[in-house]
Amino acid sequence: MNEDVVTLAAGAEELGVLVGAVGAAGFFGLMIVIVWQVAATWRARMLAAREEQYKELATRYARLLEDTVELQRRTVEEQRQTLDELTQTRLAVGSMEKMMREIE
C-alpha cells in the first residue's frame, strides 16, 4: 500500500509539471497574440494617418493648381491689354509722324 501512495504522489507531481508547462505555453501564446494585435492596431492607425496626410496634400495641391491657373489667366488678360495699349500708342505715334511730315 505504501508503494501505491508513492506511485500516486509521483504521478501527481508529473501531472503538476505537465499542467504548469501547458499553462506557461498558454500564457506565452496569449502574450504573443496580444503583442501581435497591438502592433497590427498601431500599424493600421499609422496607415490611416498617412492616408489623411495624403488627402490633405492632394487638397492643397488642387488649391494651388487652381490659384496658378487663375494667375495665369490674369497674366494673359493683362498681356492682351498691354498689347492693345501698345497698338493704340503705335497708331497714335504713326498718325503724329504723318501730321509732322505734312506740316514740314
pLDDT in tens, the chain (104 residues): 445 544 555 566 777 778 888 899 999 999 999 999 999 999 999 999 999 999 999 999 999 999 999 999 999 999 999 999 999 999 999 999 988 888 86
Nearest to 95 by CA among 83, 87, 81, 80: 87
What Å distances lie between residue 60 and 9, 21, 49, 55, CA to CA? 76, 58, 17, 9
The sign of the dihedral angle between the CA atoms of 47, 48, 52, 55 is positive
CB-based contacts of 1, cutoff 8 Å, min separation 6: none
Give the DSSP letter of residue 68: H
| Residue type, position 69, single letter | V
Specify the pTM: 0.51
